[in-house]
Chain A
Amino acid sequence: SQQGEEDPQALSIQEGENATMNCSYKTSINNLQWYRQNSGRGLVHLILIRSNEREKHSGRLRVTLDTSKKSSSLLITASRAADTASYFCATGSSNSGYALNFGKGTSLLVTP
């Protein structure tokens, strides 16, 4: 079954503001990843955080992972209109084979 659950389902902010999305999952994981999907396109990998890491940065992205709460958050700082997309978390777990399990996604709208 789907492992990750993103929150909120939809988020609308203005350019320059920060956007925070959360992901909760159910079982133990080896890593958690975040992907972006622009409308009508395939998913693009953003960042991977391993289960023994607590925080990771990549440009304007900051990801945190709390394995005790089985949750992760993605922070996009100083959002731009080009950040408008759907964002998905995906979990990798040796308990569930070799595939990633994706959540339902958060739809982010950044208005100028």
Chain B
Amino acid sequence: DAGITQSPRHKVTETGTPVTLRCHQTENHRYMYWYRQDPGHGLRLIHYSYGVKDTDKGEVSDGYSVSRSKTEDFLLTLESATSSQTSVYFCAISERGYTEAFFGQGTRLTVV
């Protein structure tokens, strides 16, 4: 298995609070991605990074921000969580753009 770890694995938070999810990789892959998975929607891209400090928005980026200060870590922040952000969040990595991606185990986030 690719060395990719998401933390936390589960989180319950209240509406309006900030939340940060972490993705850590040990593969030294250049590309890192955050997706959310919801019933009926499949996987939708939130943000991705193509290098340290290089990020770009995905399809559903509103309400989310990301940071990547070193190769191995990619952080996803919900500045003020809303119930619509209740979802399962997946981090993925790849060596090059749109090549084989390796996924983390996911973080189940519930906003109450």
Contact = CB atoms under 8 A, between A and B. Distances in A.
Interface of A: 1-2, 30-31, 33, 35, 40-45, 48, 88, 90-94, 97-105
Interface residues of B, number: 26
A35 B43 CA distance: 11
B18 interface: no
A103 B37 CA distance: 11
Contacts of B48: 97-99
Interface of B: 31, 33, 35, 40-45, 48, 50, 56, 58-59, 90, 92, 97-106
Contact of A99 (B33, B40, B41, B106): B33
Contact of A105 (B31, B42, B98, B99): B42
Given A30-B98, A102-B35, A41 B41 contact: no
